[in-house]
Structure 1
Amino acid sequence: MRIGIIGAGALGGTFAALLARAGHDVEVTARGSGLAAILADGIRLTGGFGDAHARVDAGEVLRVRPDLVLVCTKAQDAEAAISANAAVIDGVPVVIVQNGLDGVAIAERLLPRSSCMGVLSIIAANYTEPGVVRVTTRATSYLGRGDGPPDAECIRIAAILSDAVPVVAIGGFRGAQWSKLVVNMVNAVPTIVGRSVQEVIDDRRLRRVVTASMRETVRVGMARGVRFGAVQGLGDVRLRLFARLPLAIGQVLPWLMRVRMGDVPNLGSTQQSIRRGQPTEIDFLNGAVVREASVAGMDAPVNRALTALVHEVEQHGALPVKRVLELAPR
């Protein structure tokens, strides 16, 4: 199968290398030094899924109409990237592989003839050198759309992708997006203080802030009528219980996530963007919680403050730990 991958960063590079290794004909889009590196030496993948060196077609846009498209850009780049490739991909099944809540809806609006679905990936991968990706945590990804059970096409696409990397078709995808959003709350604090996710969670003071942002996210989701989907051991019952727990006890949730990560330093996708000198997708992570809270007539003060601090880091670099510690509820 010919598969187009828009955005060959951490996740896009991982999927591209593994799909090429599985025998698919892969074309990717990239820009700048990333594109130059891929054209010169392909994509090199190491870590959790083993080593792979994929020579793939690459350009700033897709040139050949594929049979399947994966959009793996950062959330803030999705609209421009899809629009730039629309002439080639409209009418082709499209899978949105990115954080946040809005990706599939954006694709459906821009590609009216395409069947659009989403993938939630818990794979942790570092992409700090052009054309080189290291998978630090191997994990299953989840594919679906809407609130109902997985349809036949979702099941078919999940099976195709599973030739290369574990992908499961799931029902209740919108609720699973919210569960993944809770997981993504581990991104902001490491970005602000310039530490790995593991180092942040190991620090009980910083772990308290991470826990507060996660609990606030769950409470906002509940106010929005969300039934949380099962992602990495998280589900509706467990997250609703977490939302009611005192902060001190709730810290077990990020701690369990940290144990699952292992000891290979995980920078988180947001911090990786900072290190590459690129804008982050914080407005689609913690910022999404703030917007959803507003719709529900609530405030989300922890996530609002974390969003502002990450934007400050985008301008000035990592901040003192005390700036984060001030956010922890008393």
Structure 2
Amino acid sequence: MTDTPKIAVLGAGAIGCFVGGTWATTGLDVVLIGRARRAEEAAKGLHLTDYDDWEHTSFPPFTTDPSVMHDADLIVLTVKSTGTEAAAAQIGGHARAETPVLSLQNGVSNPDVLRRLLPGRTILHGTVPFNVVSEGPGRWHKATLGHIFADRHPLLHAIHHEAVGTPAELEEVDDMEPIAWGKLLLNLNNAVNALSGLTLREELSQRPYRRVLAAAMRETLELLQVAGIRPAKVGAMAPNLVPTFLSLPDVIFRPVGLRLQKIDPKARSSMADDFAEGRPSEIDMLNGEVVRLAQRLGREAPVNARLVELVRDAEAGGRRDWPARDLASAVLDPPKE
């Protein structure tokens, strides 16, 4: 292996194309692995942009053939949580046993799932706190604030060094658990946004939606305190302050909150994209993770459990365009059985 590792990004959709494409612009050796439709788009170049007017066209190799992982020094996994088992089977069948796997997936449990499915392999935990949206074939736009966090590892030093100052900058850390939970707190909005049917900016501009998110976050913070986990700050504000800030009147929140998070007008949650594409969502790895934490602690998480219920109903053909007050009533004051 050279000083610059050969990187294979498995599951190159929105995050994989943006992160892998951006890293390729720095000279890092990156190959993307994904579906045929994405390969056709990438052949014409990946047009990458962000909210600060950064813009670049990238031409990383893109293949549908997972066997290229055999030559990789590092596998970066960006599949949805629902695809973790299938991706692990591909890694086990093609990547060398000594090749580390960096999970850049939502939720906090995917690295543990990978360790169970790929025993003996080095599994690194990472997270991507920002949102990437499609603006057309081969066009990917980073629409919110943030940079990548990952476990410290020698193979990631080169990525950290080369990607500094880019929209896919990587910071190595010694303990990913607080960061993963800090990210999950932000991801609790995925369900609220998907159920609203609106962009993130439109949704967060309405206080009743924010009240639902604040309640889900408070519930999670209380459980984390019982569990002895202190979530890290991965956004613009310390986690314990966010619920109070979200609950402020619109006239105060709108000019400050949306600017702090640098939320692009086009941004939607990945769960909203799942709804639009007819894909299973990651609700079990987000709000469902909170429900499971509550169960392990012998407690309940009624707000997050209700959001899980509404998302599953939406996936089955139910309502996906909840007005703000209706959603707040359905989640915060559900009908008694």
Alpha-carbon distance between aligned partners in 2 of 1:320 and 1:224, rounded to the nearest angstrom: 33
> Is 1:191–1:318's contact at 8 Å kept on the other side of the alignment?
yes
Alpha-carbon distance between aligned partners in 1 of 2:28 and 2:11, rounded to the nearest angstrom: 17
Distance verdict in 2 for CA 1:116–1:36, change over 3 Å: same
Instruction: Output one character per residue of 1:83-110: Cα deviation in whole Å (capped at 9) or x when no partner.
Output: 1222222321211001101111122223
> Is 2:46–2:58's contact at 8 Å kept on the other side of the alignment?
yes
What secondary structure sits across from 2:102 in the alignment?
strand
1:70 alignment counterpart: 76
2:220 alignment counterpart: 217
Q: More displaced, 71-80 or 254-263?
A: 254-263
Match of 1:95 among 97, 102, 115: 102
Count of residues in Structure 1 that have an aligned counterpart in Structure 2: 320
Alpha-carbon distance between aligned partners in 1 of 2:245 and 2:170, rounded to the nearest angstrom: 35
2:91 alignment counterpart: 85
What secondary structure sits across from 2:7 in the alignment?
strand
One-letter identity of the residue aligned with 1:106: V
State whether structure 2 residue 303 is matched by structure 1 residue 296. Answer: no
State whether structure 2 residue 7 is matched by structure 1 residue 7. Answer: no
What secondary structure sits across from 1:51 in the alignment?
strand
Alpha-carbon distance between aligned partners in 1 of 2:266 and 2:61, rounded to the nearest angstrom: 28
Trace 1:247-258 onto structure 2 (pairs within 5 A): 248=247, 258=258
Alpha-carbon distance between aligned partners in 2 of 1:292 and 1:253, rounded to the nearest angstrom: 31
Alpha-carbon distance between aligned partners in 1 of 2:302 and 2:28, rounded to the nearest angstrom: 46
Alpha-carbon distance between aligned partners in 2 of 1:179 and 1:213, rounded to the nearest angstrom: 13
One-letter identity of the residue aligned with 2:173: I
Distance verdict in 2 for CA 1:16–1:247, change over 3 Å: closer
What secondary structure sits across from 1:262 in the alignment?
coil
Shift of 1:155: 5.0
1:147 alignment counterpart: none
> Is 2:8–2:32's contact at 8 Å kept on the other side of the alignment?
yes
1:320 alignment counterpart: 322
Q: More displaced, 22-31 or 192-201?
A: 22-31
Match of 1:54 among 37, 52, 59: 59
Distance verdict in 2 for CA 1:254–1:9, change over 3 Å: farther
> Is 2:196–2:322's contact at 8 Å kept on the other side of the alignment?
yes
One-letter identity of the residue aligned with 1:69: I
One-letter identity of the residue aligned with 1:215: R
What secondary structure sits across from 1:310 in the alignment?
helix
2:127 alignment counterpart: 120
State percent identity of aligned pairs: 25
2:205 alignment counterpart: 202
One-letter identity of the residue aligned with 1:43: L
What secondary structure sits across from 2:316 in the alignment?
helix
Alpha-carbon distance between aligned partners in 2 of 1:250 and 1:37, rounded to the nearest angstrom: 43
Shift of 1:123: 2.0
Alpha-carbon distance between aligned partners in 2 of 1:85 and 1:253, rounded to the nearest angstrom: 45
> Is 1:179–1:229's contact at 8 Å kept on the other side of the alignment?
yes
1:167 alignment counterpart: 170
Trace 1:254-265 onto structure 2 (pairs within 5 A): 258-259=258-259, 260-265=261-266
Q: CA RMSD in A?
A: 2.9
Distance verdict in 2 for CA 1:200–1:177, change over 3 Å: same
Distance verdict in 2 for CA 1:242–1:137, change over 3 Å: closer
Alpha-carbon distance between aligned partners in 1 of 2:253 and 2:227, rounded to the nearest angstrom: 22
Alpha-carbon distance between aligned partners in 1 of 2:105 and 2:187, rounded to the nearest angstrom: 11
Match of 2:22 among 18, 30, 38: 18
